[in-house]
């Protein structure tokens, strides 16, 4: 069983494409330069639209 649905891969692909064109912005309006950040934005958008994306993992302090 796959972890991510088709909507997630579609959103990530769009976000990375926008980042490469220099059009992707963060929530505060700054330009996204990191590929990892673009993937995170794509997954977040897919999650908001009800796509099959695992929930965000919370970091535990030692």
What does pTM read for this prediction?
Answer: 0.80
Residue 46 CB coordination number (10 Å) = 23
- In contact, 8 and 48? CB cutoff 8 Å: no
Q: Kindly report, residue by residue over 13-46, the tens digit of the pLDDT.
A: 999 999 999 999 998 999 999 999 999 999 999 9
The burial of 47, by beta-carbon neighbours within 10 Å (0-12 exposed, 13-18 middle, 19 or more buried), is given as middle
Q: What is the pLDDT of residues 2-21, one digit of tens each?
A: 889 999 999 999 999 999 99
């Amino acid at each position: 069983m796959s972890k991510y649905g088709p909507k997630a891969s579609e959103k990530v692909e769009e976000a990375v494409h926008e980042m490469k064109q220099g059009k992707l912005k963060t929530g505060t309006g700054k330009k996204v330069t990191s590929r990892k950040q673009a993937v995170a934005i794509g997954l977040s958008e897919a999650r908001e639209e009800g796509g099959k994306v695992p929930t965000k993992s919370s970091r535990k302090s030692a």
